[in-house]
Chains A and B, each alone.
Chain A
Amino acid sequence: MKKIIFVLLTFATIVFSSCKKNFEPKLLGSLSPANFPKTEADFESYTLEVYKPFQAHWQYLNGTQAEYEIHGYEFNTVQMFDAPTDIMEKFLDWGGFFTGFSTANFDFLKSWGRGKNHFEQIRFITRITKIIGDLDNAATISSANKALWTGEAKMARGWLMYYLLHMYGPLPVILDPAKVGTEAEYDLTRPARDAYVTAAAADLRFAADNLPKNASVYGRFNKGLALTVLMRLYLNEKNWAKAEDAGREIVALGYSLQPNYRNLFSVSTERNNENIYGLSCDAKADGGDANGNMNAYTYYTLGDCPGITQKSGGWAQVYTATWKFYDSFDPSDKRRELLVASYVNTSGQVKSRANGLKGALMLKYPDDDASPAYHGNDIPLARYADVILMLAEAINQTSGPTAEAQKLINDVRNRAGIGDLPAVDVATKQAFDNAILRERGWELYLEGQRKMDLVRHGKWQEALISVGKTPPPAASNFLFPLPQYALDQGKGKLTQTPGY
């Protein structure tokens, strides 16, 4: 018996003798900064994080916080920049932000919390800055990969900055890796617009200079995308000369218009020489972030319309074209063929304008891949047609409606099956500018460009009024209000968008 006690006491002494030993945390399922990122492969998977806001799922998790993707389906570029314009009808059925965006009443954004807006993307910009800094300091990677991956990171940062500028105006961002993790993270002073735009342009320029025309994998950022976003940035700042320069650089890359407009959005023909960059979608995707990108537009556009293969129907007609926009097309315009004015619904009834259909359905992404759920149609984010229309606009602003500018727009029109611009539209610089704006609407609907185009031309408010929507306060400079929590966190340094 004494032996037993001895054994037990010895055991107890060993087990409980030290309060230090064997008491380190186990970092299960994670890596420590002490050992990551180290290798070339580590740095690539570390850099690829910059693509996260540019994917297409329902939402993604940034740490513990769910956030919307820029080109996803809710709070995306279509909802933010197409719905609150003259080309899309109001959508009131679901209330909330659907009503807000589609009626151009952005007041609700003031009270929405974290993760329910893109303001939190300023954190992601800091994350990209950290990645850029870590790449810069990495001794183990080749200079070629360093330049390439830094190019991708700067493309992401510049693009985010471009979008944020058009949502909220210039926002505080951390672009210097040395400031990450310092008190600078609490300083929400808005930068001057010039400085902000210059920084975004520098990122996009770096990306354009370091990314190849054709990415190693279809869907990764490329040179043409960087130049297109740079061109949009300059154009919207009305820096016509630099926009023109960027446009000519793109032209020199050798893109061309595809003969058939419809094919740009179909799965089988989505890769073509007009498509500078598209969000590459997977027909098997289900919206979960463990799977690829999905194209869910039919769910938002079809409602009780059976579509082509969408046997299950859509949810509701969230994004529909106003009849005014539909009627503005030349009836022979092939681009209008993707707008459905009349259909037989899933219950066998004919739905059309005559019996109360509120707008034309936007079947821009045909559900022709027989996928059982969401579809695999890539979502074009930079198209050559957009580039040459922008180029025409920039040329017109500096030199008037030159023959070159006219040809650019006529190329786009001819591809759509309609003739050259009539003389009246090329008579003056202003008339030509108006024609470009109109043409951009027909060409680029449901591609998330309309609000910026209207604002640039100073016509957003009148366009809203023309379809029965009430424009936000004029003082707002056409921007969204900041969320109240951001103003609170800003401790007086962050100023609310004027007018709100």
Chain B
Amino acid sequence: MELLQEKTLPSIAKVDPKNVPQAANNSVAQLLFGRAAGLRVVQQSAEPGGDINLAIRGRGNPLIVVDGITMPYEGLEPGIGNITRGELNGVRRGGFAGLNPDDIESIEVLKDASASIYGVAAANGVILITTKKGVAGKSNITYDGSRSVVKNMAYFEPLNASQYMKYYNEFKKDQYLKSNNMAPFGPNAASGFVASYTDAQIQGAGAGTRWLDYILRDGSIDNHTVAVNGGTDQVTYYFSGNYFNQVGTVNKSGLQKYSGKMNLSVKLSKFLTLSTNINATRSNYQNSTAGWQQGGAGGQDYGALQAALNYPASIPVYDATGKYSLTTLNTTGNPVSLLNIVDKTFYNSLFANISLDITIIPKLLSGKILYGNNTDQASRNFFIPSTTYFDQQFRTRGALTQSYRQYQTSEAYLTLKKSFSNFVNIDAVAGVGQYPRDSYGFTEEAKDMKDAIGTTALSSGKEFNVSSYNTYDKKRSYFSRASFDFLDRYVVSASYRYDGYSNFFPQNKYAGFPGVSIAWKASNESFLKNIRSIGLLKLRASIGVVGNLDLAALAYATFIPDPSVISFNDGSTNYTAYYQNALNHESLQWPKTIMKNLGLDFSLIKDKISGSLDWFKDDLTRILAYGNTGPLSFISTEPVNGAHQVRQGWEIGLNTNNYRSSTFEWNSIINISHSKWTWKERFPNTDLPQGAQIADPVNAIYAFQTNGLLQIGQTASTYQPGGAKQPGSPIFADINGDKKLDASDVVRYAVDPKASLGFGNTLRYKNVDVSVFFYAQYGGYGYNYNRQWSDPANVLAGSGGVVEEAYVWTTSNPSGNLPGIAYNESALGLIAGVDTRLEKTDFVRCRNITLGYTLNFGTIAKYVKNLRLYADVQNAFIITNYKIGDPELLTRGVKGAPAPYPMARTFSFGLKASF
């Protein structure tokens, strides 16, 4: 679909890529941190090409429309089969991988119901991306190149060898006292403890091995784009090529990306224009086994970075025989040897569309037919050599995986534009579209190949496993919109979509989604027109119904081959059982979200202050999700339409021109967004967490509050959990004072931040410009799983510990404020979590500091039109109270502890020239 014109009515936030430093970025999503009001951007994984989550007004992933064609947001990353039992997948790939940020002309974030005209299932809002096109006239060549140095930000600080031995002794002693019921943990007198390390050993140990130094390193990024654009009356063109090379800050990680783009538009005749956009990308990713951790098997399946934190500094890299050393318990592989795991992803994408614009009646009626295709393909090569101890085995294991995905768009529509004198302007669109999606993939695994052969000949191995999948669905749509602009003051717009989805039963395949919006351009009224300080004042309101198909649910009953093989006779007779995994759900239908928006757009004092204010409310009804079935049904979950959730909030986006003279200019942008997502009605058969209320936030943590630690000699209250009455255990808070610890004492914490914020300033003096950009979030809570490393039980289980062990309560360190070894939360059997690892995820991050210099050429201006040199620091610093790790990165509570790919600071030097 073409862009809505300025005079129509969406709630919209724009990001001009020209204003965002692009040196170190390979994904469009990286341009969006904090840049648009109402759009929250969160770095999930910091590995090269790692996932960045986009959410408009706290919703799910938005619909991405690039030059009129929908594109999947989710990254495509093949798994590695079952060879590590799902433990070491190691990658959380981001989307948008096919596009070069340098090719983007504009990005618009459409937030309210009027976005729905841009696509079927637009209930999460739409990010409209327009790529650069040529313009008729002189041709232009531009070069944009940069070199960046990437350095890790502060990461975990492991204990050195002598610190490790000291804390190990202290923890071991307390564990000994506890298990022998000795004072202060029991009635027996303390006696008989023999420390594992002597004082002499501790003093002689020194620093030991700095494992992280073997895994982490400085990285770099080289980024070069050359583009040519121009055109004649008949033909306009834009060609570009990009080379991006990132050396990751975790050893063995990196990305090389090659992309090319061609946008071509040919005027075939007076009334026919043929346009085609082609974008091709190839990316080679080197995966570090550190991009993402979700394992449940603990130390035996750690990747290199986790292993480096797990190996005590007292262990040398190599043992006396020159082999990679192993810990006594022999579970975790040697960190340096784990770097020998080969994990590479080859990613290709082709994004192409062709469209024909037809002028049927000049200046009245035109038509457009377009077809677009986004095909991604990725293959992954994973190999563990026999010299690497992993999953408690020295054994070669390998997998090759291939994933393929295709999104297609076919649309045809008519546009009518008519102006009746100055009284009314009519702008109407009606059309049809079809959007099939399909995907397939397969994995082949084998073991015991020779190291030198690896995955090049899996057939030389044994114990093969093969798996594959294939999916297909299709959406269809009939859509129309008409807007009437009376006297350039009063605008009314109405739209109606009739959307269909192939996976529902015939009677429910289609649903209608109406919407209406109105606006009053007050600034065009005669009584305001002459007030020079008001440039624009527009009030708008919209209400609409949209369908939100986040889930590709199938409404039909199916039997599938059970992935669980039925095996007899020592594994020599195996059967595949077929079982019914779904019933018919004839009533399954489109979910319905009612979106309301009130807004104000303004520009005051000669554009010195301009911006938008918006208030919104989404009512999500008959949400399509997997819900619990009746407790005796043979299927445990099924797709249902149910529940009611409300999202509500407001946002402010401001651009100010603080000072402007011929030599000096100062501009600021500020955006603040607030949204709240709560339940109004839950799904049937839902399992409410203990202490939950019906109308709680959708993303919530339920936990008991604690208040300090029990000290020696202090009597535990009667309601303190049975296993937490020892010194060093947290003191549980009885919130309601009834001397019982139950659901009524559980405290609810909202995970989503209350507010997110972006703030930037640009100063320009003559040829020099400086800009600084911050983004921030405030008011959310999360479990900081990084703190699992400081758990003393982790140290006794073989982990090397971090400097935060100094805060652990022990009988030797009774002033410590982290729970001691006698406390084991998972053994308490509590009905809710405990707040000991709960932290606020507030932060302010300085995303960019940029210094630029634009050269003016005198005589050589003939050849060089424009030349700009710049230096940029990305992720310059972060201000946060978060204790260990980065509050923005997503981590999970894995068995053992997670070691997220570290956030990095990037120093770039670049040059931009146009010829």
Encoded as 1 (CB less than 8 Å from any A CB) or 0, chain B from 288 to 310 comes to 00000000000010000000000
Query: In the bound complex, do residue B629 and residue A185 qualify as a contact, i.e. CB atoms below 8 Å apart?
Result: yes
**Residue in A19, A61, A219, A490 whose CB lies within 8 Å of B500:** A19
Q: Tell which of A40-48, A330-338, A389-397, A403-411 binds the partner.
A: A40-48
Which residues from chain B contact A12 at a C-beta distance below 8 Å?
369, 412
Which residues from chain A contact B574 at a C-beta distance below 8 Å?
292
B628 to chain A, nearest CB (A): 8
B443 to chain A, nearest CB (A): 11
CB contact under 8 A between A33 and B573, given known A114-B636, A312-B393? no
Mark out the residues of chain A between 97 and 139 whose CB falls within 8 Å of any chain B CB in the assembled complex.
99-100, 105, 107-111, 113-114, 120, 122-124, 126-127, 130
Query: In the bound complex, do residue A28 and residue B571 qualify as a contact, i.e. CB atoms below 8 Å apart?
Result: no
Instruction: With CB as the reference atom, state the residue of chain B lying closest to A96.
Output: B826
B82 at the interface (CB under 8 A from A): yes
Bound together, the chains give a CA A61 to CA B82 distance in angstroms of 14
Query: In the bound complex, do residue B631 and residue A122 qualify as a contact, i.e. CB atoms below 8 Å apart?
Result: yes
Q: Tell which of A62-70, A157-165, A191-199 binds the partner.
A: A62-70
A354 at the interface (CB under 8 A from B): no
Bound together, the chains give a CA A172 to CA B628 distance in angstroms of 18
Query: In the bound complex, do residue A31 and residue B636 qualify as a contact, i.e. CB atoms below 8 Å apart?
Result: no
Which residues from chain B contact A313 at a C-beta distance below 8 Å?
329-331, 392
Bound together, the chains give a CA A288 to CA B571 distance in angstroms of 13
Which residues from chain B contact A180 at a C-beta distance below 8 Å?
634
Instruction: With CB as the reference atom, state the residue of chain A lying closest to B561.
Output: A29
Query: In the bound complex, do residue A100 and residue B631 qualify as a contact, i.e. CB atoms below 8 Å apart?
Result: no
CB contact under 8 A between A31 and B829, given known A8-B356, A122-B632, A123-B634? no
Query: In the bound complex, do residue B579 and residue A46 qualify as a contact, i.e. CB atoms below 8 Å apart?
Result: yes
Which residues from chain A contact B562 at a C-beta distance below 8 Å?
49, 52
Interface of chain B, main secondary structure: mixed
CB contact under 8 A between A25 and B564, given known A49-B577, A282-B570? no
Which residues from chain B contact A93 at a C-beta distance below 8 Å?
797
B820 to chain A, nearest CB (A): 14
Bound together, the chains give a CA A27 to CA B478 distance in angstroms of 25
Which residues from chain B contact A289 at a C-beta distance below 8 Å?
563-565
**Residue in B300, B478, B573, B579 whose CB lies within 8 Å of A127:** B579
B569 at the interface (CB under 8 A from A): yes
Bound together, the chains give a CA A93 to CA B179 distance in angstroms of 11
Query: In the bound complex, do residue A29 and residue B560 qualify as a contact, i.e. CB atoms below 8 Å apart?
Result: yes
A486 at the interface (CB under 8 A from B): yes
Which residues from chain B contact A489 at a C-beta distance below 8 Å?
628, 631, 685, 687
B575 at the interface (CB under 8 A from A): yes
A55 to chain B, nearest CB (A): 7
Query: In the bound complex, do residue A184 and residue B567 qualify as a contact, i.e. CB atoms below 8 Å apart?
Result: no
CB contact under 8 A between A124 and B634, given known A5-B272, A33-B580? yes
B195 at the interface (CB under 8 A from A): no
B471 at the interface (CB under 8 A from A): yes
B136 at the interface (CB under 8 A from A): no
Mark out the residues of chain A between 212 and 245 whose CB falls within 8 Å of any chain B CB in the assembled complex.
217-220
B464 to chain A, nearest CB (A): 10
Query: In the bound complex, do residue B634 and residue A28 qualify as a contact, i.e. CB atoms below 8 Å apart?
Result: no
**Residue in B478, B560, B572, B634 whose CB lies within 8 Å of A126:** B634
A426 to chain B, nearest CB (A): 41
CB contact under 8 A between A280 and B567, given known A32-B557, A188-B632? yes
Q: Tell which of B51-59, B502-510, B849-857, B901-909 binds the partner.
A: B502-510
CB contact under 8 A between A293 and B567, given known A25-B554, A30-B558, A130-B634? yes
Which residues from chain A contact B570 at a C-beta distance below 8 Å?
218, 280-283, 292, 376, 378
Q: Which of the listed residues A30, A51, A127 has the most CB atoms from chain B within 10 Å of its own CB?
A: A30
Q: How many residues of A contact B (CB 8 A)?
A: 106
Mark out the residues of chain A between 1 and 44 whose CB falls within 8 Å of any chain B CB in the assembled complex.
1, 4-5, 8, 12, 15-16, 19-20, 23-33, 36-37, 42, 44
A187 at the interface (CB under 8 A from B): yes
B688 at the interface (CB under 8 A from A): yes
B309 to chain A, nearest CB (A): 20
CB contact under 8 A between A96 and B827, given known A5-B358, A26-B472, A186-B630? yes
CB contact under 8 A between A95 and B825, given known A23-B509, A122-B632, A484-B831? yes
Q: How many residues of B contact A (CB 8 A)?
A: 94
CB contact under 8 A between A291 and B565, given known A12-B369, A96-B827, A373-B392? yes
B667 at the interface (CB under 8 A from A): no
**Residue in A25, A105, A288 whose CB lies within 8 Å of B82:** A288
Bound together, the chains give a CA A376 to CA B506 distance in angstroms of 51
A485 to chain B, nearest CB (A): 4
Which residues from chain A contact B191 at a C-beta distance below 8 Å?
none
Query: In the bound complex, do residue B393 and residue A372 qualify as a contact, i.e. CB atoms below 8 Å apart?
Result: yes
Bound together, the chains give a CA A58 to CA B628 distance in angstroms of 24
Mark out the residues of chain B between 551 and 597 whose CB falls within 8 Å of any chain A CB in the assembled complex.
554-581, 583
B269 at the interface (CB under 8 A from A): yes
Mark out the residues of chain B between 603 and 636 whose CB falls within 8 Å of any chain A CB in the assembled complex.
626, 628-636
Instruction: With CB as the reference atom, state the residue of chain A lying closest to B85.
Output: A288
A174 at the interface (CB under 8 A from B): yes
Encoded as 1 (CB less than 8 Å from any B CB) or 0, chain A from 162 to 188 comes to 000000000011100000110011111
B725 at the interface (CB under 8 A from A): no
Bound together, the chains give a CA A123 to CA B685 distance in angstroms of 15
Which residues from chain A contact B583 at a C-beta distance below 8 Å?
181
Query: In the bound complex, do residue A60 and residue B564 qualify as a contact, i.e. CB atoms below 8 Å apart?
Result: yes
CB contact under 8 A between A4 and B272, given known A52-B566, A105-B829, A218-B569? yes
Instruction: With CB as the reference atom, state the residue of chain A lying closest to B584.
Output: A33
Mark out the residues of chain B between 763 and 787 whose CB falls within 8 Å of any chain A CB in the assembled complex.
none
Which residues from chain B contact A122 at a C-beta distance below 8 Å?
631-632
The 10 lowest CB-CB distance pairs between A and B, nearest first, are A282-B571, A108-B829, A219-B568, A292-B571, A127-B634, A185-B630, A292-B567, A95-B826, A30-B558, A99-B827
If A8-B356, A63-B635, A283-B570 are given as contacts, then 10 extra A-B residue pairs at C-beta distance below 8 Å, sorted by A number, are A1-B272, A5-B358, A42-B578, A46-B577, A47-B577, A286-B85, A304-B330, A315-B331, A347-B328, A490-B631
Instruction: Pick 14 A–B contacts, CB within 8 A, sort by A.
Output: A5-B272, A8-B369, A16-B432, A19-B500, A23-B502, A29-B469, A37-B559, A93-B797, A107-B829, A123-B635, A181-B583, A281-B571, A312-B330, A490-B631
